[in-house]
Structure 1
Amino acid sequence: MSQSVETRDETAATRRSRFGDWSSTATHHTPAEDAQAILTGVLLAGLGLSILAHLKFLTGGVAGLALIVSYVFGINVGLAFFLINIPFYALAVGRMGRAFTIKTFIAIGLLSLVSWWLPLVFSIDHIDPLAGAVIGGLLIGFALLALFRHRASLGGAGILAIYLQDRFGFRAGLVQLSFDLAILTVALFVVDFTSVIFSLIGAVVLNGFLAINHRPDRYLAT
């Protein structure tokens, strides 16, 4: 009986080594789970950015920079987002590992495509500015939470936020907030003061949500 159990264990281990470990545990996500989280996160982020762009609001990090570039130069926000993120891949490769970098690269590429695709299938007729700031912030917050928990990000400040949280224990949400405040300061020279105030509300909602819900001591899966 003992031999039979050992044989089955050896067979299972052989299959895992040959095809990869597709089992989900408390500290491991399967590729299918990662794919679902990345797709969901990208769609939520795309919707949140669509709401903010419709209202001419901003958000923080690279997404905020992409919106600023889009407003100033009139280029697609998805393309701007992809190009601005390129320098941050070096940090991801050097500090966060190949798997994190690949998943982040896929998420950024997909968000660029979604940002181009959404206006073709989704339009906003009217949304209250305060509601738009809160809903947009929450959607992007949910998106980042899904990606962070599957060891991915949307690049830029997200990469640095995860690195600093892993390395020094800083809350990812608070790191994101500091970057967001810097971006919103730049925004004062691009959009009107009222838009900056609503953008700040959205950034506080987004990063407050992350600071409360993304804690390494509560979630260990990779």
Structure 2
Amino acid sequence: MIPKTIRDAQQHSWLEDIHALLAGTMLVAFGVVLYLHAQVYTGGLAGLSLLIEYATGWSFGLIFFCVNIPFYILSFMRMGLQFTVKTFAAVSLISIFSRLFTQWIDFDFINPIFASIAGGTMMGAGMIFLFRHRAGVGGSSILAQFLQDKKIMRAGYFMLGFDTIIISSGFFVLPWKQVLISILGAIVLNIIIATNHKPGRYAGFS
């Protein structure tokens, strides 16, 4: 238990929360753009949304926003109103930014392995921004954050297992080389979260 005086001193202001939401979602969205250009994907609902875009041509942002809707009920029941509102804002911003960034950024060439590693790094860093300000990126991250808060399992480990299911689904959509490159990015993303987002390491509250 953190003493009240320390807890109050470390509590995030609403301006700090807004900054974290913007910075974190921009990082995640930029990672998504790298993945879209390289035709790779990641785990979780973001990865599922990428696979649906590759298979159908529908917009990632719209898919990502829609598939997360059912998870807000769990978020409200388990994590509270504040977490749910922040997560809804984060998912909405990622959906918007990913759409805008694809219009603002273009690549003549991007190496898929570099895109997978760099994109996974950016998304992992962005998610830590959000986690530390009591927000998620929807879907599996809501469950992951809940399990970590209850000290049942680290967020990174849970997400690694969940991601395995989504990553395996890629064999039905993309060439096997793209799937293997995507696995590399998913490992990078989850190692970043597992090693940098541990209970007791960060005492910020919101």
TM range (shorter): over 0.9
Gaps of 5+ in 2: 1-6
Shift of residue 24 of structure 1? 6.8
Structure 1 position 67 matched with structure 2 position 50 = yes
Question: What does 1:1-222 align with in structure 2 at a 5 Å threshold?
Answer: 25-26=9-10, 28-222=11-205
- Amino acid in structure 1 at the alignment position of 2:9: T
Shift of residue 220 of structure 1? 2.3
CA contact (8 A) 1:82 1:109 kept: yes
Gaps of 5+ in 1: 1-22
Instruction: Tell me whether 147-156 or 121-130 shows the greater mean CA deviation.
Output: 121-130
Higher relative contact order (CA 8 A, sep 6+): 2
Residues 149-207 of structure 1 deviation map (CA, whole Å, 9 limit, x = unaligned): 00001100110000011113411111111111110111111111000000000000000
Shift of residue 73 of structure 1? 1.5
Q: Percent identity?
A: 41
Q: Which has the larger Rg? A: 1
Q: Which residue of 2 aligns with 1:12?
A: none
Residues 15-68 of structure 1 deviation map (CA, whole Å, 9 limit, x = unaligned): xxxxxxxx9722x11110010001001110111000011111010101001101
- Amino acid in structure 1 at the alignment position of 2:51: I
* Equivalent-residue separation in structure 2 for 1:76 and 1:37 (angstroms): 25
Residues 83-117 of structure 1 deviation map (CA, whole Å, 9 limit, x = unaligned): 00011001100000100000000111111111111
CA contact (8 A) 1:24 1:30 kept: no
- Amino acid in structure 1 at the alignment position of 2:145: I
Instruction: Tell me whether 98-107 or 67-76 shows the greater mean CA deviation.
Output: 67-76
CA change 1:127–1:220 in 2 (3 A) is same
* Equivalent-residue separation in structure 1 for 2:94 and 2:112 (angstroms): 24
- Amino acid in structure 1 at the alignment position of 2:175: D
After TM superposition, the score normalised by the length of structure 2 is: 0.94
